[in-house]
Amino acid sequence: MSVSVAADGTKDGFALAKEASASAPLALVLDGKQKDLSFVPPSGATVEIVTADTDEGREVIRHSTAHVMAQAVLRLFPDAKYSIGPPIQDGFYYDFDVERPFTPEDLERIEAEMKAIVKENQRFERAELNKEEALSLFASQPYKVEIIEGVAGDAEGADRDAATGEALSIYRNTVDGDERFVDLCRGPHIPGTGRIKAFKLLRSSGAYWRGDEKRPMLQRIYGTAWESKQALEDYLHRLEEAEKRDHRKLGRDLDLFSWSDEVGPGLALWHPKGSIVRKTLEDLSRDMHLERGYQPVFTPHIGKSTLWETSGHLGWYRENMFPSMQAEEGEYLAKPMNCPFHILIFQSKTRSYRELPVRFSELGTVYRYERSGVVHGLLRVRGLTQDDSHIFCRRDQVVDELVEVVDFLRELYGMFGLSPDRVRFSTRPPKSVGTDDEWATAEAAIPVALERAGLDYVVDEGDGAFYGPKIDIDVRDAIGRYWQMCTIQVDFQLPERFGLEYTDEQGERVRPVMIHRALYGSVERFTGVLVEHFAGAFPTWLAPVQVAVIPIADRHIDYATEVAERLRQGRVRVEVDDSDNTMGAKIRHHQLQKVPYMLVVGDDEAANKTVAVRRRTGEETRGVSLDDLAAKLASEIEARSLELTV
Ligand SMILES: [Zn+2]
Ligand SMILES: [Zn+2]
């Protein structure tokens, strides 16, 4: 917990932290800027003490641990050149220019060396230098020289070690005044390395200097650091759990989807089992959109370049679009978004205020030219199908429509045991199009709508799209990870660019407002997240195979087939396992495939028209009548239950 305390101009952060009884203080915050505890804040200032068990505190720990790691690497690899080492989500990294990539054994040695440095309890000491002094101090370190030369090299954001402003700051690690390590750094840092309680190095990989493939390939070591051994252990456990849930691995194991070099990166091939999951999601989406007054539309995958000029995509989105195709009558481009097509449908006839809001909805497949390096499983792809809708409405309808979208979202996400958790409202960016009046209208509508919808949110000042403010909604999955899913945007610009109009009560022509929204986001990404959320063990209504019937011996195959037929009539997705495998092997197989129910049938079951039900979780119920089973399964699927009920 961080605590606030008033400064008197004489006490440093250590004294103030003591006064405030802050436990495990690491740094302080003055006017939004973090400082070392050795800093003496001016009289009258209120400062916040950053403690180890906060996000800010962990960031200070992680950044300090990155310095310790760099020192350890330089001890073991004296010729290494060190570049940058920022804290990141849950950890830190540092990039080194070394002769050869690090091996797992290297990481062990580095970790051991780091423990020694922690034991020495070296002090972190800040000093400020001018450019010349800094250049001479780091003369043998080309990456540091480049950072100093280019002070503005900090612009890309990831690089906290690049100093800013006039003076450059450095941090020395010392023992009894002896310097052990020095790094160019903005700080703040923990007072001494002894405050590092728990850390672990995780892996290493190649990374281009400045992320630029024309620059040298460096070796990046990733690590994590926490305020206590327990917090570290919990994190490592979460990591392990996340690995088991990796949708790319499960996608392969469960035969859901794959990728092929012959097709190209980021273009998923949906296998039959994955397609069942997808179809179920799509059917649900289509039904719910109809129920909520959306009208379905279908639009082409490609359109003439002139369309994308009008929409502005060629101006501001070109680099995310695949190169054009040349046809007889001009250039065509694969659509990166569906909006222009929906606009043309709106424009296909004159519209009256009475018709508004008009809500078009499409499972629209779009193509985005993601760089091959960032493509990631189903989470970041080049071909994706959005559950994309565009709402055309009057200005006075925007709030109601936004509230309705949030309500829709809640109902939909609830079916998967997910809920909107982290909500960001992003406002007008420095560079934007549109009038002040339009922005004011849109920006006023969003908070009103979010409050009415009962959603807490944070404001991301200046992070909106340049054509309108937006709402981003994250969900938290079964193991507490956040995923960004849904985006809602209020847009005045496309209606302007396309000259959209409707006729109001007075017979005047008025521009409608457009709301862009996708709830799943994309079917690809949503499926990927669901696989991880459920760890592949889909609830019965989503499971590709809902029931596996396992005959004990060959003479039971007929009855097994009868059971399967009966369930199939109720539209249950069922398989009969008539393989030659042993009973144990069959059960293991279906358990690994995460099939919700296995029905084991032998002489007794055939004679009594019953089944022995075995859940994928291991519980067994014997002697369940076929009628009973069929009824229970039907209601479980119908209710889209998240639990197994038979
Ligand atoms: Zn630093
Ligand atoms: Zn759109």
Active site residue 452: no
Q: pLDDT digit string (tens) for 449-458?
A: 999 999 999 9
| Res 160 pLDDT > 70 | no
- Give one DSSP letter per residue of 39-59, joined into a string: --PPTT-EEEEEETTSHHHHH
How high is the pLDDT of residue 78? 96
**What is this structure's pTM?**
0.79
Confidence of residue 398 (pLDDT cuts 50, 70, 90): very high
Give distance in angstroms: CA of 358 to centre of ligand 1. Answer: 54
In Å, what is the CA distance from 598 to each residue of 175, 560, 579, 613, 623?
Answer: 65, 11, 14, 6, 13
% of residues, the chain, pLDDT over 90: 85
Instruction: Name the residue among 421, 427, 527, 501 with its Cα closest to residue 469.
Output: 427
* Residue among 339, 525, 594, 616 flagged as catalytic: 339
Give distance in angstroms: CA of 481 to centre of ligand 1. Answer: 28
Contact 490, 397 (CB under 8 A): no
Partners of 420 in the beta sheet? 475
* Residue among 516, 525, 533, 556 flagged as catalytic: 516
CA gap 220, 60 in Å, rounded: 20
Active site residue 368: yes
Give distance in angstroms: CA of 341 to centre of ligand 2. Answer: 9
In Å, what is the CA distance from 433 to each residue of 6, 180, 430, 469?
Answer: 44, 53, 10, 11
Ligand at shortest distance from the CA of 495: 2
CA gap 446, 426 in Å, rounded: 10
Residue 138 DSSP code: T
* Residue among 470, 517, 556, 586 flagged as catalytic: 470
Instruction: Name the residue among 519, 488, 510, 286 with its Cα closest to residue 393.
Output: 510
Ion ligand 1: residues, Cβ under 5 Å: 185
Give distance in angstroms: CA of 516 to centre of ligand 2. Answer: 4
- Which pair of structure tokens corresponds to residue 122? 């070296």
Give distance in angstroms: CA of 126 to centre of ligand 1. Answer: 10
Ligand at shortest distance from the CA of 71: 1
Ranking 18-32, 51-65, 599-613 by mean pLDDT, the lowest is 18-32
Active site residue 393: no
The CA R_g of the chain, rounded to the nearest whole Å, is 30
Ligand at shortest distance from the CA of 159: 1
- Which pair of structure tokens corresponds to residue 388? 């994309």
Instruction: Count the alpha carbons within 13 Å of 417 in the hemisphere toward its beta carbon.
Output: 17
| Res 30 pLDDT > 60 | yes
Neighbours of 414 (CB within 10 A): 13
Per-residue pLDDT, averaged over 605-622, amounts to: 96
How high is the pLDDT of residue 515? 96
Contact 50, 57 (CB under 8 A): yes
| Res 159 pLDDT > 50 | no
First-to-last CA distance in the chain? 46
| Res 156 pLDDT > 50 | no
Give distance in angstroms: CA of 158 to centre of ligand 1. Answer: 13
Give distance in angstroms: CA of 496 to centre of ligand 2. Answer: 14
Contact 87, 62 (CB under 8 A): yes
Beta strands in 178-289 (DSSP E): 178-184, 198-208, 217-226, 257-258, 269-270
How high is the pLDDT of residue 229? 96
At 344 the three-state DSSP class reads helix
Give distance in angstroms: CA of 187 to centre of ligand 1. Answer: 5
Active site residue 481: no
Mean pLDDT of the chain: 93
Q: pLDDT digit string (tens) for 264-317?
A: 999 999 999 999 999 999 999 999 999 999 999 999 999 999 999 999 899 888
At 247 the three-state DSSP class reads helix
How high is the pLDDT of residue 1? 59
How high is the pLDDT of residue 561? 97
Give distance in angstroms: CA of 473 to centre of ligand 2. Answer: 16
Q: pLDDT digit string (tens) for 86-122?
A: 999 999 999 999 999 999 999 999 999 999 999 999 9
H helix intervals, 423-513: 436-452, 493-498
Ligand at shortest distance from the CA of 163: 1
Q: pLDDT digit string (tens) for 509-546?
A: 999 999 999 999 999 999 999 999 999 999 999 999 99
Give distance in angstroms: CA of 490 to centre of ligand 2. Answer: 10
Give distance in angstroms: CA of 67 to centre of ligand 1. Answer: 6
Amino acid letter for position 356? L
| Res 161 pLDDT > 80 | no
Cα 245 from chain centroid?
A: 15
How high is the pLDDT of residue 521? 94
Give distance in angstroms: CA of 5 to centre of ligand 1. Answer: 25
CA gap 100, 113 in Å, rounded: 19
Neighbours of 8 (CB within 10 A): 15
CB-count exposure of residue 178 (10 Å: 0-12, 13-18, 19+): exposed
Ranking 153-167, 511-525, 582-596 by mean pLDDT, the lowest is 153-167
At 112 the three-state DSSP class reads helix
Contact 274, 530 (CB under 8 A): no
How high is the pLDDT of residue 167? 75
Contact 83, 210 (CB under 8 A): no
Query: Vertex 199, ends 193 and 204: CA angle to 5°?
Result: 115
- Which residue matches tokens 């929906």? 342
Per-residue pLDDT, averaged over 311-329, amounts to: 91
How high is the pLDDT of residue 374? 86
How high is the pLDDT of residue 467? 81
How high is the pLDDT of residue 431? 80
CA gap 368, 319 in Å, rounded: 9
CA gap 473, 349 in Å, rounded: 34
Active site residue 313: no
| Res 402 pLDDT > 50 | yes
Give distance in angstroms: CA of 131 to centre of ligand 1. Answer: 18
The backbone region for 57, taken as left when phi is positive above 0, alpha when psi lies in -120 to 50, beta otherwise, is alpha
Give distance in angstroms: CA of 458 to centre of ligand 2. Answer: 23
Ligand at shortest distance from the CA of 361: 2
How high is the pLDDT of residue 166? 55
* Residue among 34, 71, 122, 386 flagged as catalytic: 386
Ligand at shortest distance from the CA of 36: 1
CA gap 615, 535 in Å, rounded: 16
Ligand at shortest distance from the CA of 493: 2
Contact 532, 485 (CB under 8 A): no
Active site residue 186: no
CA gap 340, 389 in Å, rounded: 12
- Which pair of structure tokens corresponds to residue 298? 């279908």
* Residue among 387, 388, 472, 477 flagged as catalytic: 388
Give distance in angstroms: CA of 189 to centre of ligand 1. Answer: 7
Ligand at shortest distance from the CA of 186: 1
Ligand at shortest distance from the CA of 126: 1
Measured in degrees and rounded to the nearest 5, phi and psi for residue 299 equal -135, 160
β-strands 509-510, 358-367 pairing: unpaired
Q: In sequence order, what are the residues at sequence separation of 6 or more whose Cβ sits closer than 8 angstroms to the Cβ of residue 70? A: 82, 85, 94, 96, 181, 183
Give distance in angstroms: CA of 386 to centre of ligand 2. Answer: 10
Q: pLDDT digit string (tens) for 112-129?
A: 999 999 999 999 999 999
Active site residue 470: yes
| Res 240 pLDDT > 60 | yes
Give distance in angstroms: CA of 611 to centre of ligand 2. Answer: 51
* Residue among 11, 123, 172, 368 flagged as catalytic: 368
